[in-house]
Amino acid sequence: MSKEQLDFILDISAQNPPPENATPDVMRAWFEGINAQTPIADGSMIERVSAGPCGGDLIRRNETDEHRLVIYYHGGGFFFGSGRSHRVIATNLARTSGAAVIAADYRLAPEDPAPAAHDDALAVYKWALAQGYDPAAIALTGDSAGGNLALSVAVRAKKEGLPQPGALVLMSPALDLASVGDSHHSVTDAPLLTPQLMALFNIVYVGTGDRKSELVTPFYSDFTGLPPTLVQVGSWEILRDDSVTVVERLRAAGVSTELKIFDGMVHSWQLFAPMLDEGMQSIEEAGGFLRNHLRSGMERRVAV
């Protein structure tokens, strides 16, 4: 583990804590600001497209296989974040997977509480299908809240009789919103995502609603028939057991699933990829998984 790299990153983060008693807009501006300077993958070509209700950034490279599409849902607790704030992950997924990537935006809480983000995420998948992409050439990916959305879209697509995507990649997915898992209580020193921050995210998005409902999490869903799935999580984060448990449930449902626990890593460490070896390693492994599991469908260019 690159302990010195991680210690340096955490020290810098501690010097720029979130503003106190801030409005949602101020919090979002703070989050965008701390990620704005992170370098993206060289050679990335980004254009805005009308994917779903909120649109998204379509990322291509000169070597992109236009037959394949990776839909990436950003993290941020359903409260902040955007395709732009998470470009380091999205652009490097485009590089490592060889596919086009759509970094999808979705409505945020508290202005748009549950299930707005989940509805928007499903709409982006339907948009991709309407563009003519072979479902087996589409992947659903995301980190944190975005991992929740990626898995939810696959579950809801099955219920609606839509074809399944070719693969899923979930990075530190936030699934156990009821905080039943042991790591929510035992990993007391985890930085970045704390129980207090998790509680804030739940309040603004779920409110007093059922935190086990399929409207807000696919954690308790029937996973039968879902595509091959890669789940990545850090050992030093409160959401560790979300990943361990969902992999157990996926495998019990007969889904081909891989679990990679990165020793000593914190929540959504992929955001630090250019500065943290394990961050880039995670994205490289995710890209390799997508290369192996997405088939090349008929060529289809996106109608902008």
Q: Which are the catalytic amino acids?
A: 144, 237, 267
**Residue 282 vs residues 52, 59, 67, 246: alpha-carbon distances, Å:** 28, 19, 24, 19
The closest of 231, 234, 227, 283 to 256, measured between CA atoms, is: 227
> How far is Cα of residue 44 from the mean position of the Cα atoms in its chain?
19
DSSP string, 104-118: E----TTTS-TTHHH
Burial class (CB in 10 A: 0-12, 13-18, 19+), 214: middle
CA-CA distance, 65 to 100, in Å (whole number)?
7
Tell whether omega for the bond before 115 is within 30 degrees of 0, i.e. cis: yes
Beta bridge partners of 86: none
Phi, psi of 49 (to 5 degrees): -130, 160
172 is written with which tokens? 């530190």
Going by the DSSP 8-state scheme, the letter that residue 137 receives in this structure is: G
Residue type, 72: Y
Task: Give the whole-angstrom CA distance, residue 70 versus residue 290.
Answer: 8
Reduce the DSSP state of residue 48 to 3 states and report it: strand
How far apart are the two ends of the chain, measured CA to CA in Å? 42
Angle between helices 145-159 and 116-130 in degrees, nearest 10:
60
Tally the residues of the chain: 304
